[in-house]
């Protein structure tokens, strides 16, 4: 069994473990779009990103919401906050898209307060001792300040 990266350990420590298969995640994302009568399209891609961006728009092309997805871990963000190296993102924790995604039961919806909080010394130590060599190197080199910066990044 593959060892769990440290950032996922931090998320699960706060929100509890939630194991979702890739097809369950896809189904949850599609269900949320159907519930809102909107369409989810991929946002800008970058091979260095640790996450995927999905932009939800209604049938008239109006923005409904933007989400960052890493496995089954989700953050909703302001529409302009999708860049991989974005620092100081504006996270969203309410609204129709939040409600629809939460209702699926297959996604871990992270709160704006938790994502925006600075890493604590024990959290930073856990990340620097990660079983994942890339994660250890990246945290040491990039020195992220917040949990959200650590979880949703574009480190190269």
pLDDT tens digit string along 21-45?
999 999 999 999 999 999 999 987 7
Note down the domain range covering 126: 6-147
Position 1 scores a pLDDT of 39
Structure tokens at 8: 């996922």
Q: Is residue 153 part of a domain?
A: no
Q: Is residue 155 part of a domain?
A: no
What is the mean predicted confidence (pLDDT) over 50-71? 90
Position 124 scores a pLDDT of 93
pLDDT at residue 97 is higher than 90: yes
Between β-strands 52-58 and 108-109, what pairing exists: parallel, antiparallel or unpaired? unpaired
Round to whole Å and give the CA distance between 91 and 45: 20
Q: Is residue 58 part of a domain?
A: yes
What single DSSP character describes residue 118?
Answer: B
Q: Is residue 156 part of a domain?
A: no
Q: Is residue 32 part of a domain?
A: yes
Q: Is residue 1 part of a domain?
A: no
As a whole-number percent, the residues of the chain with pLDDT over 70 amount to 93
- 3-state class (DSSP) for residue 111: coil
Of the two residues 85 and 39, the one the predictor is more confident about is 39
Radius of gyration of the chain (CA): 15
Q: Is residue 88 part of a domain?
A: yes
Stated pTM of the model: 0.87
Q: Is residue 154 part of a domain?
A: no
What is the mean predicted confidence (pLDDT) over 47-74? 88
pLDDT tens digit string along 106-151?
999 999 999 999 999 999 999 999 988 888 888 899 888 999 988 8
Position 94 scores a pLDDT of 93
Number of domain units in the chain: 1
């Amino acid at each position: 069994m593959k060892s769990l990266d440290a950032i996922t350990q931090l998320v699960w420590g706060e929100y509890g473990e939630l194991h979702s298969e890739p097809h369950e995640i896809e189904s949850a994302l599609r269900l949320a779009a159907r519930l809102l009568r909107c369409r989810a399209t991929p946002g800008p891609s970058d091979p260095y990103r640790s996450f995927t961006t999905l932009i939800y728009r209604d049938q008239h092309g109006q923005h409904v919401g933007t989400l960052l997805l890493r496995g089954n871990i989700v953050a909703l963000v302001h529409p302009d906050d999708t860049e991989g190296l974005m620092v100081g993102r504006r996270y969203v924790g309410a609204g129709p898209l939040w409600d629809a995604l939460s209702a699926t039961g297959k996604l871990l919806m992270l709160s704006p307060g938790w994502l925006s909080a600075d890493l604590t010394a024990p959290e930073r130590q856990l990340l620097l001792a990660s079983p994942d060599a890339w994660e250890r190197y990246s945290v040491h080199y990039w020195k992220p300040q917040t949990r959200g910066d650590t979880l949703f990044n574009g480190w190269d």
